Structures are given as C-alpha cells and as structure tokens.
Amino acid sequence: GEPLPVESRPFASYGSALHVALPRPLSAGQLLTLEIDYEAGEGPGVCWLTPEQTAGKQKPYMYTQGQAVLNRSFFPGFDTPSVKCTYSATVQVPEGFTAVMSATSWEKQDNNTFVFKMSQPIPSYLIALAVGDIVSAEVGPRSSVWAEPCLIEAAKKEYDGVIEEFLAVGEKLFGPYVWGRYDILFMPPSFPFGGMENPCLTFVTPCLLAGDRSLVDVIIHEISHSWFGNLVTNATWGEFWLNEGFTMYAQRRISTEVYGLAYTCLEAATGRALLRQHMDNTGEDHPLNKLRVIIEPGLWGVNPDDTYNETPYEKGYCFVSYLAHLVGEQSKFDAFLQAYVNRFKFQSITADDALGFFLEYFPELKEKGVDSIPGFEFDRWLNAPGWPPFLPDLSPGEQLMKPADELAELWAADGLNMEAIEAVDITVWRTYQLVYFLDQVLQKSPLPEGNVERLSKMYPKISKAQNAELRLRWCQIVLKNNLEAEYSKVKDFLHSQGKQKYTLPLYRAMWAGSESARALAMETFSATAPQLHVNVQNYVKKILGLEVVE
C-alpha cells in the first residue's frame, strides 16, 4: 500500500472530519482498500469504568456507546445512519477478561484474542464492544444472557425462556429475525440507558433485574428494534421517530399478543404521561417537539445526542397508530408492516420514503387524500411541534386504570377514608398498574399534611420497592411532598444506578424543591458524579447550574 496524505479538519462541536487524499480519481463501484492507523479511547463513545463502577467491584470494565454520533471517537468511519456496512474486528484483551461485540459470529483464539464478524450491513452507531469480567448463561435456543459473575444467576432466572417467546411473536408479526442470535448483556449500573439495541447483543441496564420479570417490556422494545431501527433505519437523526415511533408501535403489538390489550393500553398510558410531562417541561411549541427535527451540521449546529427526548418515541407512536387507524383493520396494518420491513430491509430511509410506501401500498387511501385531511396532514404530523393531533384509544386499559385513579383520589383527600383505602388490595396489581397509580399521586402532590407518610407505611410494596420504575416515582413523590424523612431513598436510588431517564428527572425535582432538597442534589451529585456517564454528568451540571467543561 502507498502512504497517503491525511488531515483533520473541523466539522462540528461533536467531532472533526478526517480528509484522505487519494492518489488518483476513482470511478463509482470501484473497490478500494484504505488502511488507517489510529489510536482511540479518550472520546465520549468509549467508557472506561473503574472497579467501583461495576457490580462486582473487583475489575475494571469498558464499553462503547455509539448512538447517536459517538462512534466517531471509537474508530474513523462514515458515522451517519445513512450508510450501512458489514464489519469484522480482532480484539485482544488481558487475561481474566472477555470481549463481546454486536456481531453475528465470534470465536476465541489464543492469547485471549476474540475475532468477530457482522455479516449483515448495519449503520455505524450499532457497532459495539464491551470488555470486562463477564460470563454467559443460556436462556433460549438462540439466546444467552451475559453479565458479571455476581449477576449471572439473577439474569438467567429473570430471562429464562421469555426471550424466545418475544422473538417468535415478533417473527409472526414482522417477518424473519435476520440476526441469528439475540443475546443480552447486563451492563454495570452506570450505563446511562434502559437498553441499547446493538444487533445480536442488546446492552441493558441492570435495573431490569427486578426479580419478578416485571420490567421485561424494555426487552420487548429492544427486540422490536431488530426490525425497526436495525433493519430499516432512519437515514438522518432528524427523523429518529422512524426508528423509535415504529419500535414503540411494534413493542405494543408484541405486548398485546403476549400480555393482552388491557395491560398494553395501561403501559401506553404511562408512556403518554411521560410525553405530557416532557411537553409541560419544555413548552409544547419547543422545536424538539416535532417529529422532524432540523439538525444542521457545522460548528454551531445542534448535537443529535441532545435531541433525545420522549417526542420521537411517544408522538411517533401516535403517528404510526394514526396510520393504523386510517387503515382500520389490524390484520391489514400488520401485513403492511411486514411489507414495509421487506421493502426497506438493510436500507436507510426518510419519512417521505416510509409515507410514500404507505400510500402506494394502500392506493384506496391515497385516492381519498388521507395525507391531507385538515388537522391531520402528514406535513403537520412531521413539521408542527406540540401535542399529537390523534391519540390512539387506550380505553381497554380503563379496567386497570380506574381502580388506580380512584385510589389516588382517596389518598389526595383532606380527611383520609381509611375504610375505602383498605378495601383496595394492591398486592395483586402488576408493575404498570402501580406505576400508573403513582403517576396520579404525583400529579396530585403535594398531598395534604401527613398523607404521604401514611401511604408510605401502608404500602411497603411501593415505598420499599426494589423495582426501578417504582423507585423513580416514589422518589419523585418524596421530593414533591418534601418528605425529608425519606430523602435517603432518593440518595440510595441515585447511588445505585446512573440511567439518564431516572437520574435527570430526580435532579430536576430536587433543584425545583426546598433548600434541603437542593442541598441533597449537590451532596448526591458530588458523591456519584464519577460513576455517571459523561453525557449524564453534563446534563446534571446544567440542571444544577454548574460549569460544563466541553
């Protein structure tokens, strides 16, 4: 090979561009081998954890997180979701460590070297590596769980047999699962996300190990990405709803098949509440509350990572539900989703591609002009900020919501009607019914003097919960009611994990609260900052008005 001149040029606040001068002009379709010698590891896409930041506390750990634009700090490449490629990697790690990657095949060779190959084309953000003291256990015919040794038993118990059921329903609904294996890696507690759908090997938060299989819906979400996101991908981060809106819809289709409509509607209602909360926080007409977000590259452009919020998920879900509503018959819309996946698999597409195909697939709807029904125009869905013009009917969940609504009313009353309260047995409620109840209590907070203390004593299932979704909401209730006696629970929860979706709302609540709540925020952050992902550290600093070092 001949050496080539290269230079690094400014590109954006989130990375620079590597320019390579080729020796002679090339024509389209010509194959080129380019070898780049580089060193990486300092950037935000590569996370190095000390032993204290792991579950086992014995050995260090490293992992990469590519989405949205962080893999450019892990390897040089075309770091855009519009380009897909296969990859291979040879990874040598020290004795006593294991490497895993998002690859269709891998083998261990001498010298603790692991060789990986991904045979399907994927966008750069889905290339992922983790190295640590990790072991695996089988939980299905094409699935294993990976975790630190101290977590592997819990992981196996929680997921044994369930993954295959979800995969089988997904295949029935959306067509073949093309990635071979579906494994799960339980990350150290500081992992900032619920899950990251790296193909063949989803990375998930250890918060999912609730001990009672109550949080498996997160896995259904990540499994759904095997079709929507990983197989059919948004060509730009400005149309992230194509990944997430379709995935939320797919997740809830699988959930309906497995758990029934009532429970799925209840889960969707908690999602709608999160969207409401988000839009109340930002104001409805905030530009991020559009499905099509303008992300200008360049030094002053918006960093795609900072556009992450509930809108592409829940408003995107409403738009896909609206398309299903236009079709009218569930089986016809299911057939469309299969055709959509088949038409665009291994490609990156825009919203115009997706909606164009929808109208082409249903010519009778195109004829009727469904893309321009006043108030529901596709253009308005994509480009107008604010609350979704159409909300899917969640009334089948009311049999589960109504008792929760009524119980929350009772707890918000001035004089507590203990007889009515004691008549309700919440020990039989499933997680999302409890979550829904707590969301209502939070909305009604602060409660009359003394009520939260009584509630806490009455329901240890809630106030002493180990389930992260319940812990988050109980902590929010403690802060909204300024229940200083239980501040320790907020502190413990923030010490136990670093998931962005749990961490930021609690810091916002502390910062909006009393002097003592603000003091708690500062004290907790100074103790836990080193164990948080750098992005999460910076978001918390912004909330607390601290200096952010770029």
In the DSSP assignment, the letter for residue 410 is: H
- Cα dihedral sign for 456, 462, 466, 469? negative
Q: Is 225 annotated as ligand-binding?
A: yes
Rg (CA), the chain: 24
Which is nearest to 141 in space by CA: 108, 182, 202, 100?
182
User: CA-to-CA distance for 387 and 384, rounded, in angstroms?
Assistant: 9
Q: Is 221 annotated as ligand-binding?
A: yes
Strand pairing report for 143-147 and 183-186: parallel
DSSP string covering 524-547, please?
HHHHHGGGS-HHHHHHHHHHTTPP
Q: Is 244 annotated as ligand-binding?
A: yes
Q: Is 338 annotated as ligand-binding?
A: no
For the question of residue 317 being annotated catalytic, the response is: no
Q: Is 297 annotated as ligand-binding?
A: no
Q: Is 195 annotated as ligand-binding?
A: yes
Q: Is 194 annotated as ligand-binding?
A: yes
**Helix 487-496 with 468-480: angle, nearest 10 deg:** 140
Q: Is 501 annotated as ligand-binding?
A: yes
Choice among 14, 263, 308, 313 that is catalytic: 313
Q: Is 67 annotated as ligand-binding?
A: yes
- Write the CA distances from 15 to 42, 319, 352, 497, integer angstroms: 12, 33, 29, 29
Strand pairing report for 201-204 and 183-186: parallel
Q: Is 101 annotated as ligand-binding?
A: no
Q: Which of 366-375's residues contact partners 24+ apart within 8 Å by CB, and which partners? A: 370/326
DSSP string covering 178-189, please?
TTS--EEEEPPT
Q: Are 345 and 178 in contact (CB under 8 A)?
A: yes
Strand pairing report for 129-132 and 61-64: antiparallel
The phi, psi pair for 439, rounded to 5°, reads -60, -40
For the question of residue 313 being annotated catalytic, the response is: yes
Q: Is 499 annotated as ligand-binding?
A: yes
Choice among 148, 158, 222, 310 that is catalytic: 222
Q: Are 167 and 223 in contact (CB under 8 A)?
A: yes
Rounded to the nearest 10 degrees, how much is the dihedral formed by the CA atoms of 146, 150, 152, 156? -150
* Helix, strand and coil in the chain, % to nearest 5: 50, 15, 35
In the DSSP assignment, the letter for residue 39 is: -
User: CA-to-CA distance for 41 and 484, rounded, in angstroms?
Assistant: 42
Q: Is 500 annotated as ligand-binding?
A: yes
User: CA-to-CA distance for 541 and 538, rounded, in angstroms?
Assistant: 5
- Write the CA distances from 484 to 56, 180, 447, 514, 517, integer angstroms: 32, 51, 14, 10, 8
User: CA-to-CA distance for 103 and 117, rounded, in angstroms?
Assistant: 5
In the DSSP assignment, the letter for residue 51 is: G
Q: Is 458 annotated as ligand-binding?
A: no
Which is nearest to 312 in space by CA: 340, 339, 351, 346?
351
Q: Are 177 and 202 in contact (CB under 8 A)?
A: no
Active-site amino acid positions: 222, 313
Q: Which residues are annotated as a binding site for a peptide?
A: 65-67, 192-197, 499-501
Q: Which residues are annotated as a binding site?
A: 65-67, 192-197, 221, 225, 244, 499-501
Binding-site residues from annotation for Zn(2+): 221, 225, 244
